[in-house]
Chain A
Amino acid sequence: MAGIEAKDVSKRFGDVQALKGVSLAVAPGEFVSLVGPSGCGKTTLMRSIAGLETPDSGTIAIGGGDVGGLRAADRDVAMVFQSYALYPHLTARQNMAVPLVMRRLDAWRRLPLIGDLLPGTRAAKAEIAAEVARTAELLGIEKLLERKPGQLSGGQRQRVALGRAIVRHPRVFLLDEPLSNLDAGLRVQTRKEIVELHRRVGASTVYVTHDQTEAMTMSDRVAVMMAGEILQIGSPRDVYLDPRDLRVAAFVGSPKINAFAAEAGADGLVRVAGTPTGVAVAIQGALTFAARPEDIAPNAHDGIPARVEHVEFLGEAVLLHARVAGATEAVVARMDARRAGTFERGQSIRLRPDPARALLFDAAGKRIVARAVPLGLKEIALG
């Protein structure tokens, strides 16, 4: 097993700075997701680790050794591509054998007919066949081996692509949006299978996705990338509950976190739309007050005034969409379906975020320390 360490990696494509000095360390055997909107540089970072892109600056080490000068073929990495990139003219069996054939047989031995006459070719080929068969069994695709990619379904192709990646026990395993071409049901199932496969194979894994649910459910750690930078890297729990940046908070979680324009007075007390929130900070002036949908409760008397726009019944929960006067985005509150009252469109309500769980960000979007303060009677009366 080997870890990956990328340091200060930068890459520019023409006018676009795809990576702005990114550093990422993946421990041996760890599963790390790179997640972010499209164009954030996550694929470029992965391709730089693979050796398919050459960074303009920075270093990349695998297993402690610098791989900067090494070609992709020499880095001992395996990759599953978004399109799977299976060779359409080869059967599933041949596709899975390619990485072994390319490494163990030289150009002469790969020649048809002539190659078989050279000493050692047959033994090497038999061994490759055995390893392909073992991998196919592991993935449950023994019956598909004689088919060509064109005769396989999306899920089956994905498995063959996984097989081609793990067949030679690489040091590092790279997956580039491997689930995005599958339908929703299969995606959930395959998610679990990839995690199990990772446990068995044990190689350090980098997983690129734009889908935060995938990243959160599968990884040991999640790296949230935006505009060529890693904004935060941490466990799924940290990234969700303790985001360091407003953009991270906004990207992770569905429905999206509610962000209110807020103001901190001289006393440090934070108000949204003039309403005290029960939170105090150490700075003064404009900031952002954010609360997850499950941390906001509608209330008849106290809190931020808003008007009900829309109610979604999800089964276990109810999503209440309400609008604060003058706001561009609706606030979403998530309630237990059994305890939620009934709301009507246009109804005036008040929203009360839980001060203990609120997240506060300064004008630059950086997280700031906040503490909950009990609301005095005066504030309640004012609100």
Chain B
Amino acid sequence: MYGRRSWFADLPRLAILGICAAVVLLPYAWMLAVSVKPRSEVFSAALSLLPEVWYAAENYGRVFAEVPIGRYLVNGVVVCGLILAFQLAFALPAGYALAKLRFRGRETLFAFVMLGLLVPAHVPAIPLYIAFANAGLLNTYTALAAPFAISVFAIFLFRQFFRALPDDLIAAARIDGMGEASIVLRVALPNAWPAATAFAIFSVVAHWSDLFWPLIVVTKGDLYTPALGVLYFRAEEAGDDYGALMAAATLVTVPLVAAFLLAQRRFIEGITMTGLKG
């Protein structure tokens, strides 16, 4: 806290952090290591990380040969994209109205938003499932994405964010002859980027990895999300072939982790800002 200590004095701290970091990295290291090891080495329970025989092509090859992993990844991108697009389309204008417009029922509306924040996503699952089943919508992108189209958290976040926007800016836009809709599009939206990016990261991280809802509404292989794909591959195809299983796990983990490592600061800011709802 007070100036820079010497390396020597800093050593105990760095050592403890280093040990903790090693524990955190353990599953990643072994996931990668096993994904390039042949079966015989996996079963020998050796403690060495590096393979004696390089077996990457076989393990990864098996994943691609037996499951349409590419398709799963595309599904993941489509579902996350749909969810995010709808969340933003619904939440941005509503957040603006709650923050900057005065109308009857605003307080009630906001109270409902706060109420919605308290309800975990698992609660409405049963009625939604029944509704999708009756509408014949199970095993569709609609069923995967629709329940998350509304994010009360996004409304809350944008409302807080727009409140910080100066009233004078809105007033100036009105004097310049803009209607409320064009104020949202041309004044509020361009200023909402920081909040929107933060929310986008939060939303994609949550839905890319989600298992609960896809597990409920999807039974057909060609709609599997990456999480379902790993689960299916584990249960049906891989058996005790840990090499191939870890290759599959690596393939679904890499996209987000790579994005995180590239834009680390943005990710952490995004999650901190949106940390309100885990």
Contacts and interface: CB of A to CB of B under 8 A. Distances in A.
B2 interface: yes
A53 B2 CA distance: 8
Main secondary structure of the interface of B (DSSP, over half): loop
Interface size class of A (residues with CB under 8 A): under 10
B120 interface: no
A54 B5 CA distance: 12
A52 B1 CA distance: 11
Interface in B1-45: 2-3
Contacts of B3: 53-54
B36 to A, nearest CB: 45
Interface residues of B, number: 2
Interface string A35-65: 0000000000000000011100000000000
A54 B2 CA distance: 9
Nearest to A54: B3
Interface string A295-327: 000000000000000000000000000000000
Contacts of B2: 52, 54
Contacts of A52: 2
A329 to B, nearest CB: 35
Interface string B75-109: 00000000000000000000000000000000000
Interface string A228-269: 000000000000000000000000000000000000000000
A131 to B, nearest CB: 29
A362 to B, nearest CB: 40
B47 to A, nearest CB: 44
B5 to A, nearest CB: 12
Contacts of A54: 2-3
A54 B6 CA distance: 14
A52 B3 CA distance: 10
Interface in A54-104: 54
Nearest to A13: B3
Nearest to B3: A54
Interface in B96-137: none
B22 to A, nearest CB: 33
B4 to A, nearest CB: 11
B193 to A, nearest CB: 32
Interface in A105-161: none
Interface of A: 52-54
Counting from the closest, the 4 A-B pairs by CB-CB distance are A54-B3, A52-B2, A54-B2, A53-B3
